[in-house]
Structure 1
Amino acid sequence: MTVFLAGMRMTADRLNDHTLEDSVSSGATAATDWSVVSFEGRKVNGITTINAFCNRTGAAIAELVAGSGNITDTAMVTLPVGWRPPSNHEGVWGNGTNDGSVVISSTTGIITVRSTSGSAGIASGSNVRVSASWISENG
């Protein structure tokens, strides 16, 4: 609830008090060569956080050039509608021995693996956790 004190102006920003809380644990869809082990999303105090735990069922994803950290951009999972960032957003992935970056499309909700920090890439059968947080869109 927004409280207005004497002399305060009522503005759009003050009316959006971000108290809406929500959570989800289903609705994420695996891309080709991936499976979704678990998914959760939470919206609390104007912050959206998502965690997707996926398994690589297809061939390994190797570095394009050894030691570069560059891999072929690979779609991993699609977020459900209502759980997508207001603009394209960066996140992180890790599998316990390696990590890297992902980008989340604001229009499609597709999480795409973009880079790796180690020369191992992502092995077939590897469990990968993606995490990201952003300021929720007002609405």
Structure 2
Amino acid sequence: MTQWQPGMIITADRLNDGPPVITTASGLAAGTDFAINDFRGAKTGKMVVLDMYLARTGADIAQTGGNIVSPEPVCCTVPSGWRPTNGTINGSWDNGSSEGGFVIGTDGVCTLRTASSNISGTTGSGVSNLRLHVSFIQT
């Protein structure tokens, strides 16, 4: 990585020189009544970006006024090394017809918190595929 010094000339090579990007596609654990369709993680330096693609394989998840009816479902657990290191982080999800928020804690557990409408499962209009996205800085 370029260590910038006074008087250095900016070049494309210097601007593109950064810490390596580390990726993963394994280690995600599905929560009860969820299945993993895909998982991708990338990090560079202390920045982490996670994309989890899950299928709801259990009953519908109901919401009232935008809040998921208790208990809030744990949809997955992120592998060690890919988790927030300081506190709980908010992320977003959608399934093409509904969207909402989730949280991920330092233990890697991802919990759905809000939804704009009910989330289909096996008892509703069919299995719902949820796409979760979160980015954060590890300390």
Q: Measure, in 1, the Cα distance between the counterparts of 2:62 and 2:4.
A: 56
Equivalent residue letter for 2:61: I
Aligned-residue CA RMSD in angstroms? 1.7
What does residue 134 of structure 2 align with?
Answer: 132
Offset at 1:2? Answer: 5.2
Q: Measure, in 1, the Cα distance between the counterparts of 2:35 and 2:22.
A: 25
Give the secondary structure class of the aligned counterpart of 1:97.
Answer: coil
What does residue 30 of structure 1 align with?
Answer: 30
Per-residue CA deviation, residues 18-39 of structure 1 (Å, 9 max, x unaligned), is: 7242100011000110001100
Structure 1 portions without partners, runs of 5+: 7-17
Offset at 1:4? Answer: 6.2
* Corresponding pairs, count: 120
Per-residue CA deviation, residues 13-70 of structure 1 (Å, 9 max, x unaligned), is: xxxxx7242100011000110001100000125421000000000000011x3xx111
Displaced runs of 4 or more, over 3 A: none
Give the secondary structure class of the aligned counterpart of 1:19.
Answer: coil
- TM-score in terms of structure 2 length: 0.80
Q: How does 1:42-53 map to 2 (within 5 A)?
A: 42-53=42-53
Equivalent residue letter for 2:79: P
Equivalent residue letter for 1:28: L
CA contact (8 A) 1:79 1:109 kept: yes
Offset at 1:128? Answer: 0.2
